[in-house]
Structure 1
Amino acid sequence: MTAKETKKVEPSAHNETAEKPEEKMEQEEEKDMAAALAEVMNKLQESEEKVLRLAADFENSKKRLEREREISLKYAEENILKELLPGIDNIERAMDQGQEANNMESLLHGVELTRDGLLATLEKYGVKAIDSIGQPFDPNIHEALAMEETDAMEPNMVLREFQKGYVYRDRLLRPSKVVVSKPLGSGA
């Protein structure tokens, strides 16, 4: 080899050694990036698992609440039914007293007390009797069974009640069945 060739070879060898540290740096950067990527992938997987657990917890809570709601609706009447039982007990006691004493007054008093107790229980739950007698006829809460001529009241007033009506909060449970007044001489 000549000196020129040697010189040519030397720079080339020098370039190879210069590239080696760059390659080393690139490899280290790749390792760092791979480690960072692995860490990010780990965190992503953990987050996905957490989201899946939260979604499953949410679904389980939803199902549990639905079951509780169904049970609550199924037994919603339980409290009112328990409170109506003393009314039945009172009716039975009144019947027993009526048979023993053969006293209608005692029986009537027992029935009145029972009615009052039942009405109090119903009112506790939002059921109220409609006061109709002497009130203007209202087709929203009254059912007119008959009309009767009278001068004792203005026309279209409730004279008598055949059956009491009831409202539950703001809803009509049953209209009052009533007789409505009409002016004298108004015909059939």
Structure 2
Amino acid sequence: MHLFTLIIGIWLLPRGDTLTCLECDLAIAGTCNATHIECPSQGYQCGASREVYYGVGLKLQDVEKKTCVLPEMCGQESVNFGAFQIVQKTQCCNSTNCNSKLPEPSINPPNGKKCFSGSDLTCEGKILPCEGNEDFCVTITVETGRQTTLKGCASKLMCSKLSYVASLYEGAHVSCCKGDLCNGGITTSAGMQLVVVAIVSLALFS
């Protein structure tokens, strides 16, 4: 009887309120037609993410996403292959539908760290100065009949995301290391860049 009373008491305890946030899937920045979503637990916050693709210093694409996020997903992250770079910034908040405003990702100055880059198809083993919180050298390898590899700089969270997404693709592998030029030399191909962009995009918004 006491056990039954205890179970009923626990079931009747008031549950902590969870946030309601604005939500929209990937859209060109500024065109998001947001709906509302209730976050799955109290550990989540409302997040507004903006992802910018840069090529040779020019902005090529600018997309956004809004949804519930975990606190560790907040902040800015990036991956840089020299000829192109992808920067994502997620701004988080803790009140109802507070994620209406988009953050502005920034290109940060070099941080003193260096990695081998493989995005310049005409120059093997090019040394790339890392930027902002790109504290790791990254190597992305894909087996597509033959092994192709692309290398550059990445932030810690980006390394974790890339590793997870690569694990979903047969023949794809991501490794990150900490230390100047720890990612060795480079071989790459034009087709490889398309594979990498797909993996990175999935990683950023997974």
Pairwise same-fold verdict (TM > 0.5):
no
Q: When the two structures are superposed, what TM-score results if normalisation uses the length of structure 1?
A: 0.25
* Higher helix residue share: 1
Rg larger in structure: 1
Q: When the two structures are superposed, what TM-score results if normalisation uses the length of structure 2?
A: 0.24
Higher relative contact order (CA 8 A, sep 6+): 2
* Higher strand residue share: 2
